[in-house]
Amino acid sequence: MSKTKKILGYLGIAIVTLVISLFLLIRLSTYHPAEIEAAEMSCPADTPKLKPGQSIKVMSWNVQYMAGKNYVFYYDLLDGSGPDVRPERKDIEATFSEVARVIREESPDIVLLQEVDQGAKRTDKEDQHARLLEMLKDQKYACHAQAFYWKGAFIPHPKVMGSVGLKLSTFSRFHIDSATRRSLPMLKQDWLTDQFYLKRTILETALSVEGRPQPMVALNTHLDAFAQGTDTMERQVATLSARIAELEANKTPWVSGGDYNLLPPGDAYDRLIPEKRLYYKPKSELEPLFTTYQAVPSAAQTQGPDAAKWFTHFPNDPTIKAPDRTIDFIFISRHLTLGNHSVRQKDTLKISDHLPILAEVTLQ
């Protein structure tokens, strides 16, 4: 073998080794959960169980990783031109206090939170789940569960360039038997982008019911936000609907709360300014859930002259001066009776770009 061939051979081996090493580095430093897996949870054995006939107050709230409302983040505008990449520490501290205040005042039994950071560069790698629990220890949320849907040691996006950690958090005053992370279908992209992209999920917690084999299930979720022009939202809603149908077939009571990033059926699409309609389809992908189950707010409540009282989203967009749409919901099983319900707007407009939804349900 000539000297040139030897050099080329060594060079080829070096290139292959480098490519394999890079592949392994990317794979090992990013997040790849199973389709269904146990979620992280904690629950003392002596935590009280739910009782038949008991009324339960549920809150669902996207807390926007405690960033507050003083920013227009790069992803807040459809063209990615938002100027901000992270909140200042003083705003994180103020938002923690406000989130804790509202939860304390509402005193829900079950809290479903979206966009809770842990290990993220943008929020100083703090564990926001643990910190909020500590701030609310007087509320006796003995049981809690969490599931990541974005996690990575380093995301090479020019507006990130560091670690990420974003998760769903569920707090409960009642005993949690189990917690499960159920993956949602991903936006279809190239292999490399997939490694670093969000892995949307459902965090399912099963709460014990005294004297009954069937638990009450709380589903916490945050559907995709950047899926325009694809069937991602239909596929994610179909996955959630299939799980709900299984629970219904087993006569298991459930609530499903979260940031669905979808409009309700009806005239919500037409009421948006043309630029904002680009995020959605004229016919809502959520229509099957509204048709089949109780919803807070209901489709009727989100239409007509009083629709604004049910708005849950106040975009971080300087052209939008007030909440302008409803994209967060709590869906409710046929085996639960819906009581008082509302969107808390009066003093939450400066806390997050989403407003908390509350629903009281009674276990039949």
Task: Please list, in sequence order, all residues whose beta carbon lies within 8 angstroms of the beta carbon of residue 205, skipping any fewer than 6 positions away.
Answer: 39, 41, 145, 170, 172, 176, 178, 179, 180, 217, 218, 220
Residue 1: predicted pLDDT? 55
**Position 153 pLDDT exceeds 60:** yes
Selection from 62, 64, 178 nearest residue 120 by Cα: 64
pTM over 0.75: yes
pLDDT of residue 293: 98
Q: Kindly report, residue by residue over 91-138, the tens digit of the pLDDT.
A: 999 999 999 999 999 999 999 999 999 999 999 999 999 999 999 999
Q: Tell me, what's the pLDDT at 322?
A: 97
Give the number of C-alpha atoms closer than 13 A to the C-alpha of residue 88, restricted to the C-beta side.
6
Sheet with 162-172: strands ordered across: 40-42, 143-155, 162-172, 110-117, 55-62, 357-363, 336-343
Q: Are strands 294-296 and 328-332 parallel, antiparallel or unpaired?
A: antiparallel
What is the per-residue pLDDT across 1-35, written as a single tens digit (0 to 9) for each?
577 777 767 777 777 777 777 778 888 889 999 99
Strands 254-259 and 216-222: parallel
And the tokens for 176? 């949690």
Q: Does domain 36-363 have CATH number 3.60.10.10?
A: yes
The pLDDT of residue 152 is above 70? yes
Share of the chain above pLDDT 70, in %: 99
- Contact (Cβ atoms closer than 8 angstroms) between residue 80 and residue 74: yes
pLDDT score of 171: 99
Write the DSSP assignment of 218-233 as a string of letters. Answer: EEEEE--SS-TTSSHH
pLDDT digits (tens, 9 = 90+) for 290-337: 999 999 999 999 998 999 999 999 999 999 999 999 999 999 999 999
Q: What percent of the chain has pLDDT over 90?
A: 91
| Mean pLDDT value across the chain | 96
Question: Over the stretch 248-266, which tens digit does the pLDDT of each residue have?
Answer: 999 999 999 999 999 999 9
Peptide bond before 297: cis, by omega within 30 degrees of 0? yes
pLDDT digits (tens, 9 = 90+) for 231-242: 999 999 999 999
The two tokens of residue 234 are 């239909």
